[in-house]
Structure 1
Amino acid sequence: MNFNQIQALIADMDGVVWRGDTPLPGLNKLFNFLAAHNIPFTLATNNASKTVAQYQKKFARFGVEVQPENVMTSSIATAMYLKDTIEPGSNVYVVGEDGLTDAVRQAGFNVLDDAGQPAAAVAAGIDFTFTYEKLKYATLLIRRGAHFVGSNGDLTFPSEEGLYPGAGSILAAIEAATDTKPTVIGKPEPLMFNVAVRRMNSTPAHTVMIGDRLETDILGAQRAGMKTVLVTTGIDNQDSIASKGIQPDIILSGIDELVDVWQSQLDAK
């Protein structure tokens, strides 16, 4: 892979720059490298529950300052998609946590509390207090014509107890009740990658995705036409490639090695 052609970077967070609350080797080294070479970057995650400010605070604990425009959650991408598809100031019913609600509201939409008013869209993501009432409101609004948008399709996510139901499980419940498939924004759909590339004034061919999951990070970036790097500090490794049938452009041990490889190619120019 030729890093000399790369002008922008997108990186997943958990399993790439940190694992839980522990920074991974090379975190500060990576951001110092990007700053030294004026390489724009986006930190992209399917997690729709957290706000940008929460991610900024976490990076600050690790000694890294990131700007709001450096963070792309599936919530932000969902709100940006809505800005492109429905009228400004429209009513939107949200099934989700603060991350999604705040993103939709900050995009200029009116967030509804129930189905008492018409809605232009229903935006759904992970919701840790999902109830029958929320399912009912979403169903009524979508059946009345609201656009059904999902932050991401992850059916589960890992926890210390085992796998918990993810946003995709909530989307599946709403889909079953409405006979309507959602427009899914997050990885591995290309929409989120396209939004990030556009915000960095780059092109897919000159942007690299750094991820730890083949079926979301790597597949999604490939669908968007980007170069891909799999780091083995998270979910997948060399053995996963054969079973999942997804081949990244390069496999590295982590972001520490990524910087070394990238810098060596720049030095050899």
Structure 2
Amino acid sequence: MKFKSIIFDMDGVLWKDQTPLTNLKNIFKKLDAASIEYAFATNNSTKTPVEYQKKIALFGVQISPEQVITSGTNLASLLKENYPTGGPLYIIGENGLVDILKDYGFYYEESSVLAVAGGLDRSVTYEQLKKATILINNGSPFYFTNPDPSYPSPEGNIPGAGAIKIAIEAATGVKAITPGKPEAFMFLNALKYLKSTPQETLVIGDRLDTDILGGVRTGCKTALVLTGVTTSIDLEVSEIQPDYVFQNIDELITTLEDSDWEIIT
């Protein structure tokens, strides 16, 4: 059996911040030539799918916004399932999350809200954490995009959405409903777009605890690249193990191309 589709993480796999980790145009040219379908699943909620479309276009790759599942769109789809008519939320997050939630019928309020919904906010304040804590302690459901405590940057790993989530959980004693990676919900949304099955799909990521674990939970083959958060030392001691390990995305794609995209067992 051959791989028919790939789900890519982005940060730490394709780029770090604004710096591409390879010639992305060449990578996706190879996938297109082999008729491999692909989607992108990122736990970054600070950008919308359209913004990611524009970012990857800077590297010479043309995609549609529908190919991008962010933790923001993922959270919005879950909230829409639970609150079909939309409504007010107390939101901690940047414009990318606020805009996506608005597209799904949700808007920012500070009282009488359906739920508290959060994601990465690089300008988060104590007052925001306090307000979220009070609302949750008074019974508001608590949702968060993803659990990543950190994410890669050119300066090294820096605090992620999970660091904010953990602070609110510590203050309230309430665990957030978190549908982003490593939950299967996000990968199932990607598979729905790809019209593919887990058995013929490869998940590529740089984190064992989100990308790889999520792929395993969904039943996909998984490949770890060592250009992001997870190091070879982390891999040695972890109970979470990918099907394949590569130094970088170039080595991975070259290996798959040489095997004629066959699933290696």
TM-score, normalised relative to structure 2: 0.89
Match of 2:213 in 1: 219
Q: Deviations over 1:195-242 (max 9, x none)?
A: 211222222222111112222211221122110011223333544321
1:157 matched to 2:154:
no
> Contact 2:3–2:261 at 8 Å: present in 1 too?
no
Who is 1:112 aligned against? Answer: 108
1:71 to 2:65 alignment? no
Query: Take 1:136 and 1:19, find their aligned partners in 2: how far apart are those partners?
Result: 32
The answer as to 2:86 corresponding to 1:89 is yes
Provide the aligned length of Structure 1 versus Structure 2.
263
Structure 2 unmatched runs, 5+: none
Are the aligned partners of 2:206 and 2:226 in contact in 1 as well (CA < 8 Å)? yes
Cα distance in 2 for residues equivalent to 1:237 and 1:165 = 18
Moved over 6 A (4+): none
Question: What are the Cα deviations for residues 95-120 of structure 1, in whole angstroms up to 9, with x where unaligned?
Answer: 111111111111122x12312xx222
Equivalent runs, 1:49-198 vs 2, <5 Å: 49-109=46-106, 111-115=107-111, 118-159=112-153, 163-198=157-192
From 13, 16, 20, the counterpart of 2:17: 20
Whole-angstrom distance in 1 between the partners of 2:205 and 2:59:
20
CA RMSD of aligned residues (A): 2.3
Q: Provide, for residues 129-165 of structure 1, a one-character-per-residue CA deviation record: whole Å limited to 9, x for no partner.
A: 2223322332343344432111111223345666543
Whether the 8 Å CA contact 2:157–2:229 is kept in 1: the answer is no
Contact 1:26 1:255 in 2 (8 A): no
Distance 1:247 1:32 in 2: 29
**1:188: Cα distance to partner?**
2.0
1:27 and 1:256 in contact (8 A); partners too: no
* 1:239–1:34 Cα change, 3 Å: same
Counterparts of 1:163 and 1:35, CA distance in 2? 32
Letter in 2 for 1:85: N
SS of the residue corresponding to residue 183 of structure 1 reads coil
Match of 1:248 among 242, 253, 264: 242
Aligned residue for 1:36?
33
In structure 1, list runs of 5 or more residues that go unmatched.
Answer: none
Task: Give how far 1:267 is off.
Answer: 7.8
Alpha-carbon separation, structure 2, partners of 1:267 and 1:196: 20
> CA separation in 1, counterparts of 2:250 and 2:167?
41
Give me the whole-angstrom Cα distance separating, in 1, the residues matched to 2:261 and 2:238: 35
Indicate if the aligned counterparts of 2:45 and 2:97 stay in contact, CA closer than 8 A: yes
TM-score by length of 1: 0.88
Q: How far apart are residue 173 of structure 1 and its match?
A: 2.4
CA distance in 2, matches of 1:89, 1:154: 27
Q: Any conservation in 1 of the 2:181–2:214 contact (CA below 8 Å)?
A: yes
Aligned equivalents of 2:223, 2:37: Cα separation in 1: 17
Asked if 1 retains the 8 angstrom alpha-carbon contact of 2:256 and 2:262, the reply is no
Q: Which amino acid aligns with 1:91?
A: P
**Bigger Cα displacement from structure 2, 4-13 vs 151-160:** 151-160
Q: C-alpha offsets along residues 231-266 of structure 1, whole Å, 9 cap, x if unaligned?
A: 223333544321223221112232223232222332
Return closer, same or farther for 1:267/1:130 CA change in 2, 3 Å cut-off.
closer
Give the whole-Å Cα distance in 2 for the aligned partners of 1:7 and 1:267: 8
Residue 133 to residue 65, structure 1, CA distance change in 2 (3 Å): same
> In the alignment, residue 183 of structure 1 is paired with which amino acid?
I
CA 1:20–1:225: 2 relative to 1, 3 Å: same
